[in-house]
């Protein structure tokens, strides 16, 4: 079964998916927990930007 060895030896290795994990809530940054302080801060900053961003 040498072909099996070849297969195993050359098994395509999926590149590790780099997911940014929030240091506050420990969730991926795209899925912050609702209570996450960083998430709330981001939301506040976004709101400020939107509020003052009326050219």
By CB under 5 A, residue 24 contacts Zn ion: yes
Task: Give whichever of 26 and 48 is closer to Zn ion, judged by the CB atom.
Answer: 26
Token pair listed for 29:
């940054």
Q: Choose which of 25, 30, 42, 54 interacts with Zn ion (CB under 5 A).
A: 25
Residues 50, 43: Cα–Cα separation, whole Å: 10
Q: Residue 27 in contact with residue 35, Cβ under 8 Å? A: no
By CB under 5 A, residue 42 contacts Zn ion: no
Q: Which residues bind Zn ion (CB under 5 A)?
A: 22, 24-25, 32, 36, 38-39
């Amino acid at each position: 079964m040498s072909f099996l060895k070849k297969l195993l030896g050359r098994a395509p290795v999926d590149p590790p998916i780099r997911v940014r994990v929030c240091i506050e809530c420990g969730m991926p940054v795209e899925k912050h927990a609702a209570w996450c302080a960083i998430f709330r801060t981001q939301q506040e900053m976004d709101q400020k930007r939107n509020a003052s961003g009326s050219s």
